[in-house]
Structure 1
Amino acid sequence: MKEIITYGSYAPSSHNAQMWTVEIPKNNKIKVYPNYARVLPFVDPNNRETWISIGAFVENCVLSAQDLGYSSAVTINDAEIILDLQQDNSLIKTNRNIELIKKRLTIRKPYLDIKIDDTTITKLINLSDSIWYFPIENKETKKIIDYSLDAYSFQMKDISKLRELAKWMIFSYREEKHRKDGMTTEALEIKGIRRFLFNLFFTKKSVTRKTFIKSSIKRVKKQLNSCSGYILITSDSYGKAELIKTGRLLEQVWLECIDSQIAVHPMSQILEEKEYYDLLKTSLKIDKEIQMLLRIGKVKEYPERIRKRLDIIDIIKG
């Protein structure tokens, strides 16, 4: 159970806040709950991203259990999510899912100007009818880029959201050594002399200052325009079960991308700002709710990174 939960914790979460906690009752069950001490009340006041992150956690548990010879039944109740694991001799034990889970990471740097082949895109889209793909050359994609940049710039004016971001950013080598969550300079792809200068001169207060805001907007503009295209994941509603389903589908998409050496970068700001979200839905003529926007593309080398994750003792309740 602890091994499965460990692989579960490798799931993505907003700001790497890791907003999940679990119980392990008897009879091969895992109960999953949100950890409300780790949610993001300013950018995610309705816990939409929290439930999506928990869905990704659940999917990792299901997939790693498969590799270890267990089938999983997932039940979603008002109070909890229950994974009922049963040993299944019909399953062929492999390490495929676990290896992909271990490789999963967000790659934020600009991607190569290379089209992803149609076969790979079809494989991704065929995972669900809730998945949409917009290649970079499409006219609709320009709307995705423009509205995303507008939403990001708008969010950079909100002091409360900036302070919340600062809480999860790591600004010193000492903090980086001791924390098991949040976003390191390495995760933000600040390297070499830039990393040294960042840790030397920037503090959490720097996030609300003009220099940081201006450079962040410039960086995001470059990211938005440097990719092969965008994957959108939709749902029928904002209900908890639908959001958990979205999180599970997000992880399936991400792992398939890793298997095809495709880089992934969630761009959530436009989904967090209603004005720009409504503009996006209208321009793309999508009648479902857009829950995830993923920038995807090719990179010269798929990197390895030190993973910041809570210890198992920090995840299990009691």
Structure 2
Amino acid sequence: MKLKIFWCTTSVILIVVFFLGIYGRQIEVGTNMAVEGLDNEMTHILYYAALAPSSHNAQMWKTDVYPEEGRLVISVDEARALPAVDPEKREAFISMGAYARSCILAFEAYGYNASYHINENGHAVTFNYSKNGMSMDEGLINLMKRRHTDKRVYNQNPIPEFFQEGLNGISGLTYYTHGSVEFDDIKQYTIAAAAAQRDDQSIRDELAEWLRFSNSEVVEKKDGLSAEQLGITGMKKSLYYLFMSREKAGGDSFAQQGYDMTVSQINGCAGLVAISAEDKPKAYVEAGMHLMEVWLYAVRNNIEVQPMSCGVESWKHRHSLQQVLSLSAPPQLVLRVGYVDGVYGENIPVRRDLRDYVTVK
């Protein structure tokens, strides 16, 4: 009898483990690229452009395409902005800039000449494009596909000097090595800001709205932060989806875990990259474009990246930090960079269907 109970219990445990393992596998989110009025090549260009980063993976951009004119205009979708954590829409414009830079790269990869103009108020970026006859650059596409955020703790192996020197060619970038006085200054601002956000219920609730709590919700919404994008995979992902909820994500325990993780992350890296720009929408867009440049440069060299910009999300903090760091303009973004003790990370392409934000004129 005892043996029978043992085997029954073992079987149940094995079945549960099996299904948890199945549920914890990474899912494929099929982005529908079809847009009436656009050919297959253009929809692929727009899809790869949309692999650009955005705060909370909110993908806060709109795209109007004028195919007969060879013109494309992108702007911020204010309905997808983050009013609690980003009341100035600063990060929305930065995200739009990252998307704009991705558009240029995607056009280039598909053999197009593309020029752009940022409106003086920064609220729109206009592209003019035409085919140049060059063959497709698969390497550039693969580079864009490899770009990802890695939230693991990095080791402190130094970043090569050639990489640091290469950053000098990108406007507004400054690199700070782990342990330097400037690194510690940024760390203090980041940790203080993380504590303030931990205790701000409106910011907690806003984040909870952009978290996804099941595979089906990820597939349905095609935006926000899935378990994988939080760095939760395998069996841990299964348990996260089973026991976490939107209500719990807005609670004290989850907020404290997020704060503790931020402290571990800022301590666990080789250095920090600050991207500085003036406080106006056009400069925010340009900062987003520079973000893509440094990020792809890092991917090319198998260096992991994670934005850690909570310390500069308030006007007061970023201008104070500007003075502390003796920068010519306030830092708009802070990136944690370094190497991981393991396999280089991969992109989790959770992206909306093109027709949700692309309009053919």
Tell me the TM-score range normalised by the shorter chain. over 0.9
Alignment partners' CA distance in 2, 1:208 and 1:106: 23
Say if 2:148 is the partner of 1:111: no
* Secondary structure of the structure 2 residue equivalent to 1:41: coil
1:24 counterpart (55, 62, 65): 65
| Alignment correspondent of 1:191 | 233
* Secondary structure of the structure 2 residue equivalent to 1:49: helix
| Alignment correspondent of 1:161 | 203
Contact residue 170 and residue 182 of structure 1 kept, 8 A: yes
| TM-score, normalised relative to structure 1 | 0.94
Q: Using the aligned pairs only, state the percent identity.
A: 30
* Secondary structure of the structure 1 residue equivalent to 2:253: helix
| TM-score, normalised relative to structure 2 | 0.83
Q: CA deviation at 1:275?
A: 4.2
Q: CA RMSD for the aligned pairs?
A: 1.6
Alignment coverage as a number of residue pairs: 315
Say if 2:109 is the partner of 1:50: no
* Secondary structure of the structure 1 residue equivalent to 2:187: helix
2:164 counterpart (111, 114, 121): 121
| Alignment correspondent of 1:242 | 283
1:253 counterpart (281, 294, 298): 294
Structure 1 unmatched runs, 5+: none
* Secondary structure of the structure 1 residue equivalent to 2:137: coil
CA shift digits 1:261-312 (9 cap, x unpaired): 0000001211113443344223212231211100000122212243100111
Alignment partners' CA distance in 2, 1:275 and 1:46: 13
Alignment partners' CA distance in 1, 2:158 and 2:245: 39
Contact residue 150 and residue 276 of structure 1 kept, 8 A: no
Contact residue 4 and residue 64 of structure 1 kept, 8 A: yes
- Residues 43-192 of structure 1 correspond to what in structure 2 (within 5 A)? 43-77=85-119, 78=121, 80-89=124-133, 93-128=136-171, 130-192=172-234
Contact residue 176 and residue 272 of structure 2 kept, 8 A: yes
Alignment partners' CA distance in 1, 2:354 and 2:215: 23
Contact residue 151 and residue 270 of structure 1 kept, 8 A: yes
Alignment partners' CA distance in 2, 1:54 and 1:22: 10
| Alignment correspondent of 1:292 | 333
Greater gyration radius:
2
Code of the aligned partner of 2:353? D
CA shift digits 1:74-108 (9 cap, x unpaired): 1223563211002235x564223221111111001
Structure 2 unmatched runs, 5+: 1-41
* Secondary structure of the structure 2 residue equivalent to 1:32: strand
Alignment partners' CA distance in 2, 1:117 and 1:263: 13
Alignment partners' CA distance in 2, 1:125 and 1:170: 38
| Alignment correspondent of 1:39 | 81
Contact residue 140 and residue 284 of structure 1 kept, 8 A: yes
